[in-house]
Amino acid sequence: MTPGKAKVARVWTACLLIIGDEILSGRTQDRNLATLAKWLNAAGIRLREVRVVPDDMAAIGTALNAVRVAHDYVFTTGGIGPTHDDISVDAVAAALGVPVIQHPRAEAILREYYKERITDARLRMARVPQGAELIENARTGAPGIRVGNIYMLAGVPAIMQTMLDALEGTLEGGKPMLSHAVGAWTHESAVADLLRETEKAWNGLAVGSYPFWREGRAGANFVLRHVDADVLARAVADLRERLSALGVETVDGEI
């Protein structure tokens, strides 16, 4: 390694494709993004991109082929249910250039779960792109799907969470991103240069600024993020000292 140059740690990234006309129309509010982002961070994977696409074969395929080569992992939510407009499986298979097959184990799981209530519509949930593996779903039986670096999850938040639970510990990642907040009674514009200098002073540090108005006063919460707990703690202390030197009142944590 060249003297004076630190080894750059491998950063694992992911993208989320949220599939569904109901999201784009505003009829349904997505609740899966925050859940997935937190789950990925705990696994040392950065959620770097999110796209929302309609229930349209071409749109799904175009988006998928763009992001699956740009990220280590791609997650999709929505469109793997039993109805005619659940086309995610078909769209992913078409994008990958493989046929859709009836997965024998998925069919067995569904038949066991539904027993006499099994229908052709419910058996649609056993369809997968050829070469896919299953993601267990202890809540409703119908499995999620993994094909290559693509993880197809349910759109219903509780079921999506169950599928994430089944994936726990199976994805390769790096260090989780740690965070610490500093609350300050100041206009963020008054300390913009100071925040920029602090971020540059600590390699790998990210500083986010979130203004608010409370108790008749302007303030901002500054969130510092780093993968190393010691570096993060020292950067927090450094920022508070810099702010104090300007006469800015701070607290440890959010105001």
136 lies in the same domain as 197? no
Phi, psi of 11, deg, nearest 5: -110, 120
CATH of the domain at 185: 3.30.70.600
Residue 73, helix vs strand vs coil: strand
77 lies in the same domain as 21? yes
Residue 7 lies in a domain: no
Q: What is the pLDDT of residue 9?
A: 76
As for how many domains the chain has, the answer is 2
Residue 210 lies in a domain: yes
C-alpha count within 13 angstroms, C-beta hemisphere, residue 23? 18
39 lies in the same domain as 110? yes
Q: Say if pTM beats, i.e. exceeds, 0.75.
A: yes
62 lies in the same domain as 134? yes
252: its two tokens: 């440890």
pLDDT at 2 over 70: no
Domain that holds residue 235: 178-252
Measured CA to CA in angstroms, residue 243 lies from 32, 53, 87, 183, 236 at distances of 36, 43, 53, 11, 11
158 lies in the same domain as 226? no
Q: At what angle do helices 192-201 and 229-245 cross, to 10 degrees?
A: 150
Give pairs for 100-105: CB < 8 Å, separation 24+.
100/127, 100/128, 100/129, 100/130, 101/127, 101/128, 101/129, 101/130, 102/126, 102/127, 103/127, 103/128, 103/132, 103/134, 105/134
Residue 223 lies in a domain: yes
Q: What is the DSSP letter of 159?
A: H
Q: What is the pLDDT of residue 160?
A: 97
From 167, 200, 230, give the residue that closes a domain.
167
Residue 4 lies in a domain: no
- Per-residue pLDDT, averaged over 209-228, amounts to 95
- C-alpha 142/C-alpha 208 separation (Å) is 40
Residue 182 lies in a domain: yes
23 lies in the same domain as 135? yes
113 lies in the same domain as 182? no
134 lies in the same domain as 182? no
From 114, 136, 167, give the residue that closes a domain.
167
Element (H, E) at 218: strand 217-226
- C-alpha 25/C-alpha 51 separation (Å) is 15
Sign of CA dihedral 89, 30, 69, 133: negative
Residue 203 lies in a domain: yes
Q: What is the pLDDT of residue 8?
A: 57
53 lies in the same domain as 158? yes
From 167, 194, 209, give the residue that closes a domain.
167
pLDDT band at 99 (very low <50, low <70, confident <90, very high): very high
34 lies in the same domain as 101? yes
At 52-95, the pLDDT tens digits run 999 999 999 999 999 999 999 999 999 999 998 899 999 999 99
CATH of the domain at 140: 3.40.980.10
Residue 1 lies in a domain: no
Residue 49 lies in a domain: yes
202 lies in the same domain as 132? no
At 119-139, the pLDDT tens digits run 999 999 999 999 999 999 999
136 lies in the same domain as 30? yes
